[in-house]
Amino acid sequence: MFKKLKVSFFVEKAKQRKKLIIGLAVLLLVGFLITGKPLGLLGEKEELKTTKVEQKTLRETVSASGKIEAENSSQLHFTFPAKVVWLGVKKGDVVKKGQALASLDKRDLELKLKKSLRDYSKERWDFEEDKEVTYKDKVITDTIKRILEKNQFDLDKAVADVELADIVVKNAILISPINGTVTEIEGILAGDSLIAATLAASYIKVVDLSSLKFVAQVDEVDYGKIKVGQKVEIALDSFPDKVFAGTVSYIGKEGVKTAGGGVTIPIDIQFNSDGNNLAVGLNGDVEFVVEEKESVLIVPKEYVKTKNSDSIVYILKDGKPEERKVKTGLTTLSQVEITEGLEKDEEIVLVKNNKK
């Protein structure tokens, strides 16, 4: 009997504990649903996020990507097939304007020019002789007229042949039109013969490395913010620890469609210094300085709220956030200039949704 009572007592105690645990669990769940926190943490003080007003330079910038190009460069091709008899430069050579770089075999070309000159002389002689005889007779029949017209045609053709042959001979030598450096030699080798099919792919490229510029592709949304003379900071992938200074020299007048359907505009940037030892084709990013203010009070943009068209921030008073009206100036993507209402090193509080 005693044994049965003892068992019943422990069973009853177990049931009570179970009910208590279930009850506590329900209370915790209700508290969590109402406040977003477990009931036991309701009394804990929420940690406030704060920051101090700073005084420093504030800049509004526009970012873009691009690469280095040369302001002055020339890709030189031969215009007709022939044997390359001389190549006078190699990659990296510095050349001057007017310097010969390579030459084709001109012997056959010069022979053709001499023949054209002889043909021209003969046609000119025949033309003048026929004309003189005709006008002496003072009779110009239709037949004679046609002969004169043919002679004039033959003479004109002979003149054209001479001019063409002369051009061909002159074009047998590639001459640099600029001062610069030989950066590429493709398909031109002394002793090899050029063929018509590969003329376009055979060339010598000369680049004026003192005229390097950075060409940035600026999104159309930011196009209106870019001005000639604007300061630019250039960060090249090849020099991650260095920033190059530049200035906007030209703003493109034609947009370029991107693969994503957007439009960018090319902007030319001249290096202020240290740009002469760089290479064409280097990639990088730039920041255009749209506006810059020195020694101004700034706070993170997320700390400034709008209430009834007023800009407000929150300060701590007696441990609680209290709003204060402020006046703002230059605003960037992440920071706001405070022109009135706060002082340097004053602490402000981050409050969400304008609620204390």
How much of the chain exceeds pLDDT 70, in percent? 68
Q: Copy the structure tokens of residue 13.
A: 């105690």
Domain ranges of the chain: 2-41, 50-59+293-354, 62-71+211-292, 76-207
Q: The domain at 50-59+293-354 falls in which architecture?
A: Beta Barrel (2.40)
Q: Which residues of 251-265 are buried (b: 16+ CB within 10 A; e: fewer)?
A: ebeebeeeeeeeebb
Nearest Cα residue to 266 out of 66, 47, 12: 66
Q: With a threshold of 0.85, does the pTM exceed it?
A: no
Summarised one tens digit per residue, pLDDT across range 158-205 is 555 555 555 555 678 898 999 999 999 999 999 998 888 988 899 999
CA 316, CA 194: separation in Å to the nearest integer? 82
Residue of 171, 205, 182, 167 whose CA lies nearest to 74 = 205
CATH superfamily of 62-71+211-292: Efflux pump adaptor protein, beta barrel domain (2.40.30.170)
Whether the Cβ atoms of residue 325 and residue 312 lie closer than 8 Å to each other: yes
How do beta strands 231-236 and 203-207 pair? unpaired
Q: Nearest-CA neighbor of 247 among 213, 277, 219, 220?
A: 213
Say how far residue 178 (Cα) sits from the centre of its chain: 25
Structure tokens at 169: 């001979």
Over residues 208-251, the pLDDT tens digits come to: 988 899 999 999 999 999 999 999 999 999 998 999 999 999 99
Instruction: Read off the tokens for 259.
Output: 């693969």
Please give the DSSP secondary-structure letter assigned to residue 193. Answer: B
Can you tell me which residue has the tokens 């068209």? Answer: 309
